[in-house]
Chain A
Amino acid sequence: MKQQFVNNAASSVPRVRFGSWGGYLPWIIAIIVVAVLPLILKSSHSVSMLSQMGIAIVFALSYNMLLGQGGMLSFGHAVYFGLGGFFAIHALNMVGDGRLSIPLELIPLVGALGGLLFAIPFGWVSTKRSGTSFAMISLGLGELVAASSLMFTGFFGGEGGISGNRVTDITLLPYSYGPAIEVYYLIAAWAVISAALMYLLTQTPLGRMANAVRDNPERAEFVGYNPRLVRFFQFSLAGLFAGVAGGLYAISYELLTAENLGAVASGTVLLATFIGGVGYFFGPILGAMLITYLQTTLSTFSEAWILYFGLIFVFIVMFAPQGLAGIIMLHRPAWKAGLMSRLLPSYALAVIPVLLFLGGVVALIEMGYHFRTNYDPSEPMGLFGMKVVVTQVMPWIVAVAVTLVGAVLCRLSFRRINAAWADVDAILAGEKR
């Protein structure tokens, strides 16, 4: 049983790679994009979304240190994010009172310390086990901390949480960090630094051994490493970076509640990381950006966004366990060999069927929500630029028909994609010209 689990984990999660065509190039591009983006997306809504993305990226990358690099499926990672955040917000308040003197730019370090402080004892307990047991311990610890947070009101502030004020007069740089854009650049700087540090960690012996322990703990032990210790160090460092993310959250929102360390937050980071792709370093970055975008944008015009979120996740688990990053990297050999031209026509053919199918499903879900949650279901609703009255039968028939036709066409067009891939694979393997 154990052996089977290990082998499966090994085959399903490849070595962590940074999907790059040249060592530093992606980093330089990333820094430029991060610096320029708020100049293009100027509205306050998009700046706050970008800040949120930065926080989510650090959090998701720290989560991937567990799941992707260490093979540890945790259901309680938000504990370290939340505790780091609470430490940071208390530090912020103490700076405000004059009891402490830490520049605002370094407050995330307090968060890191808070995350690490709790990751050490909790990690010591939970890294004893791996696989399913580890997952269950993390769930238990997560629930334990989440439930205690409502009990110890002095530190956690009860239902209302702890609020603070990030404008403290003590800063390294001549900024007040009152305006959202200044906070964005602070978060961006911390996100880039943390991402770089986490990437460098994958290159260290510890990062390599974490991969080895994930793939085959027995062999790692034969080489002379204690798998449990490797997991423990990896876990503690993941807690540290989660704490950084929590500290950034404290600065950005100036409010922390028990929700920040609860099961929903832990579940969201798991979903984001997995959708992005656990096998590649940039996977969680993609996932965090996508999920934050969905959370902030989709949730304003659809009540069903959590359903879409769950459906995307289930779809990824079933059909693309390597996540979005895996789908992208799948094309790398074909791209390098200049064979994309053989794939693209079949993709183009699939566009319309996929859109039909998705459109049908979305229509059904949106109509269902409208029917159930609206005060007056017979009131017309806007759907793809049309006015639809959901109490009539016709829209439902049309939506079901579109979904079914889309599904059939998808099946047919995916056959072509598979054929095109078989062709490309054969050429790559040198069996065919």
Chain B
Amino acid sequence: MLELITFSIINGVLYGMLLFMLSSGLTLIFSMMGVLNFAHASFYMLGAYFAYQISTFIGFWPALFLAPLGVAVLGALVERYGLRHVHKHGHVAELLFTFGLVYVIEELVHMIWGRMPVDYRIPDALNFTLFTLFNTSFPAYRGFMLLVALVMFASIYLILRKTRIGMIVQASLSYPEMVGALGHNVPRVFMGVFAFGTGLAGLAGVIAGNYFITEPGMAWAMGPIVFVVVVFGGLGSLPGALIGSLIIGIVQTVSVAMPYSLADALRAFGVELTREAALADLWFLELSRVAPILPYLLLVLMLIFRPRGLMGTRES
């Protein structure tokens, strides 16, 4: 039991950090431009595919740097030639534009890499057991993922807080007109932020694509969860995105490992239920099977009781 809980929490933190790599970019883009980038998880998928393609030519380590760069360039192009034109039609139009992009990117991936999963593997250098705890081994690649996520978190924090670029970005967040009046090219700042955010999603794809599976469905599988995280943590708040990612990651991973149902809970209080009881489906539903809906349940509850999210500063 202790073993199960420990490893569930470690894996939950890992999954949470992965979610954070996606949600941080999404939050940055949203708080800067007011755009909820629906296609964010599609850029994550592109990161994985780019890394696969590059690693077949020159190996994993160059891909770790080149693939996110490629995704960021693509993001910049999308902003420059797509989003910027839609901007004048309002935020709903921007949301719809990125929504359409999800379809286009998914189909382009079908076209270029086919519908089957591609063989994108963990590099041999990281394919060993880091340590063994309670008879369960902990692969080194998970440690590497955690490391990348932490380095990324630290660098975002330092860039935003300590550099001149970070200061301009933060200023454009609150007073875009004033920043423009001071001579900064606000559209270019926007483009940079969009590219940076999508690049982060690409990086997440590079390190998650070989840990999970690289296939065309991975964007749809990840996309809604990232939205849940961002809204749950509070739109536009980076610390909120971190806390939200960790909570959702841990909740989902831990609950998957719990084969208990409401009937089991009632049994502890001396109430015995049979399969014939009314609403038996509900009583005998195991927590592990409810796991996929828990994030959405949390989201809906959060929006009902605290619409601005955990650490959010604005209502909508």
Chain A interface (Cβ within 8 Å of chain B)?
1-2, 5, 8-9, 11-12, 73, 125-126, 128-133, 135-137, 139-141, 143-144, 147-148, 151-155, 263, 267, 270-271, 274, 303-304, 306-307, 309-311, 313-314, 317-318, 321, 365, 368-369, 372-373
- Please, how many angstroms separate the alpha-carbon atoms of A81 and B107 in the complex? 26
Complex alpha-carbon distance, A133 and B316, angstroms: 6
Inter-subunit contact A5/B104 (CB<8 Å) = no
**A156: min CB distance to chain B, Å:** 10
Docked pose: A304 CA to B104 CA in angstroms:
10
Which of the four size classes fits the interface of chain B? Answer: 35 or more
8 residue pairs of the A-B complex, CB under 8 angstroms, read: A135-B92, A137-B300, A270-B96, A309-B103, A310-B102, A317-B97, A318-B97, A372-B114
Of the candidates A9, A148, A314, the one whose C-beta lies within 8 Å of that of B82 is A314
Shortest Cβ gap from B132 to chain A (Å): 35
Any A CB within 8 A of the CB of B164: no
- Residue of B with least CB distance to A367: B111
Which of B113, B228, B299, B316 touches A129 (beta carbons < 8 Å)?
B316
**Complex Cα–Cα for A9 and B91 (A):** 8
Q: Which residues of A contact B293 (CB under 8 A)?
A: 143-144, 147-148, 151
* B220 interfacial contact with A, CB 8 Å: yes
CB contact between B89 and one of A8, A130, A144, A148 (< 8 Å): that residue: A8
A9 B90 Cβ-Cβ under 8 A: yes
- CB <8 Å contact, A73 and B92: yes
If A307-B108, A321-B93, A368-B111 are given as contacts, then 11 extra A-B residue pairs at C-beta distance below 8 Å, sorted by A number, are: A8-B93, A133-B307, A133-B315, A151-B285, A267-B103, A271-B103, A274-B96, A306-B107, A318-B85, A368-B112, A372-B111
Query: A253–B292 Cα gap in the complex (Å)?
Result: 29
Q: Which residues of B contact A5 (CB under 8 A)?
A: 34, 90-92, 316
Residues of A within 8 A of B103 (CB): 267, 271, 306-307, 309-310, 313
- Distance (Å) between the CB of A111 and the closest chain B CB? 22
Q: Are B228 and A317 in contact (CB under 8 A)?
A: no
Chain B residues with CB under 8 Å of A155's CB are: 281
Q: Which residues of B contact A148 (CB under 8 A)?
A: 293
List A contacts of B118 (CB < 8 A): none
B292 pairs with A140, CB closer than 8 A = no
Selected from A8, A125, A128, A132, the residue in CB contact (under 8 A) with B36 is: A132
Is there an interface contact between B111 and A369, defined as CB atoms closer than 8 Å? yes
B108 touches A1 (CB 8 A): no
Indicate the member of B85, B296, B297, B307 with the most A CB atoms within 10 Å.
B296
Number of A-B contacts (CB under 8 A): 155
Q: Shortest distance in angstroms between B11's beta carbon and chain A's nearest beta carbon? A: 21
The residue from B36, B85, B224, B307 contacting A143, defined by CB atoms under 8 A apart: B224
Residue of A126, A133, A148 most packed against chain B (CB within 10 A): A133
The smallest C-beta distance from B154 to any residue of chain A, in angstroms, reads: 29
Which 10 pairs, one residue from A and one from B, show the smallest C-beta to C-beta distance? A8-B90, A310-B103, A307-B107, A314-B100, A144-B296, A313-B100, A310-B104, A140-B299, A147-B293, A133-B316
**Is residue B153 within 8 Å, beta carbon to beta carbon, of the partner chain?**
no
- Which of B34, B115, B282, B303 has a CB less than 8 Å from the CB of A136? B303
Bound-state Cα–Cα, A155 to B100, Å: 33
Determine which residue in B36, B96, B290, B314 has the highest number of CB atoms from chain A within 10 A of its CB, and name it: B96
Contact A321 B89, beta carbon cutoff 8 Å: yes
Residues of chain A lying within 8 A (CB to CB) of residue B96:
73, 270, 274, 313, 317
Q: How far is the CA of A365 from the CA of B104 in the complex (A)?
A: 12
Specify which chain A residues have a CB less than 8 angstroms from the CB of B112 in the assembled complex. 368, 372
A136 to B107, CA, bound (A): 24
Q: Kindly state whether residue B80 has any CB partner on chain A within 8 Å.
A: no
A309 to chain B, nearest CB (A): 7
A309 to B102, CA, bound (A): 12
Give CA–CA (A274, B297) in the complex, Å: 29
Q: Does B168 reach chain A (CB closer than 8 Å)?
A: no
**Of listed B36, B289, B314, B315, residue having the most chain A CB within 10 A:** B315
Interface of B is mostly: helix
Return chain B residues, CB-CB under 8 Å to A147.
292-293, 296
Secondary structure class of chain A's binding surface, majority of residues: helix
Cβ–Cβ < 8 Å partners of B73 in chain A: none
List chain B positions with a Cβ less than 8 A from chain A: 34, 36, 82, 85-86, 89-93, 95-97, 99-104, 106-108, 110-115, 220, 224, 227-228, 231, 235, 281-282, 285, 289-290, 292-293, 296-297, 299-300, 303-304, 307, 314-316
B307 touches A129 (CB 8 A): yes
Identify B86's interface contact among A130, A132, A144, A317, CB under 8 A: A317
> By the criterion CB–CB under 8 Å, are A263 and B224 in contact?
yes
Instruction: Please indicate the chain A residues that have their CB under 8 angstroms from the CB of B82 in the complex.
Output: 314, 318
Partner of B227, one of A136, A144, A270, A318: A136
Contact partner, B316, options A125, A132, A144, Cβ 8 Å: A132
B224 close to A139 (CB less than 8 A): yes
The distance in angstroms between the C-alpha atoms of A1 and B36, with both chains bound, is 14
In the bound complex, CA of A140 to CA of B228 (Å): 7
* A317 near B316: Cβ-Cβ < 8 Å: no
Whether A373 contacts B281 by the Cβ 8 Å rule is no
Which chain A residues lie closer than 8 Å to B292 at the CB level? 147
Give CA–CA (A364, B34) in the complex, Å.
35
- Give B81's nearest chain A residue, CB to CB: A318
Asked if B91 and A12 sit within 8 Å, CB to CB, the answer is no
* Cβ contacts under 8 Å, A141 to chain B: 296, 300
Q: In the complex, A141 Cα to B299 Cα: how many Å?
A: 9
Instruction: A11 to B96: give the CA distance in the assembly, Å.
Output: 17
Pick the residue among A11, A128, A139, A317 that contacts B304 (CB under 8 A).
A128
Q: Which residues of B contact A373 (CB under 8 A)?
A: 114-115
> Across the two chains, which residue of chain A brings its CB closest to B88?
A8
CA distance A255 to B133 in the complex (A): 50
| Closest beta carbon of chain B to A416's beta carbon, Å | 21
The distance in angstroms between the C-alpha atoms of A68 and B207, with both chains bound, is: 41
Hey, which chain A residues are within 8 Å of B290, CB to CB?
A: 151
- Kindly list chain B residues whose C-beta atoms are within 8 Å of the C-beta of A369: 110-111
- Could you tell me the distance in whole angstroms from the C-beta of B312 to the nearest C-beta in chain A? 10
What is the minimal beta-carbon distance from B62 to any residue of chain A, in angstroms?
25
**Shortest beta-carbon distance, A415 to chain B, in Å?**
18
Asked if A307 meets B104 with Cβ closer than 8 Å, knowing A12-B93, A135-B95, A140-B228, the reply is yes
Contact of A365 among B36, B101, B111, B316 (CB under 8 A): B111
Question: With A and B bound together, what is the CA distance between A271 and B112 in angstroms?
Answer: 24
How far, in whole Å, are A184 and B204 apart by their CA atoms in the complex?
Answer: 49
Q: Are B111 and A307 in contact (CB under 8 A)?
A: yes
Q: Could you say which of B103, B228, B299 has the most chain A C-beta atoms within 10 Å of its C-beta?
A: B103
User: Which of A128, A307, A369 lies at the interface centre, i.e. has the most chain B CB atoms within 10 A of its CB?
Assistant: A307
> Are B303 and A129 in touch, CB under 8 angstroms?
yes
Chain B residues with CB below 8 A from A139, complex form:
224, 227
Tell me how far the C-beta of A128 lies from the nearest C-beta in chain B, rounded to whole angstroms.
7
Shortest Cβ gap from B256 to chain A (Å): 13
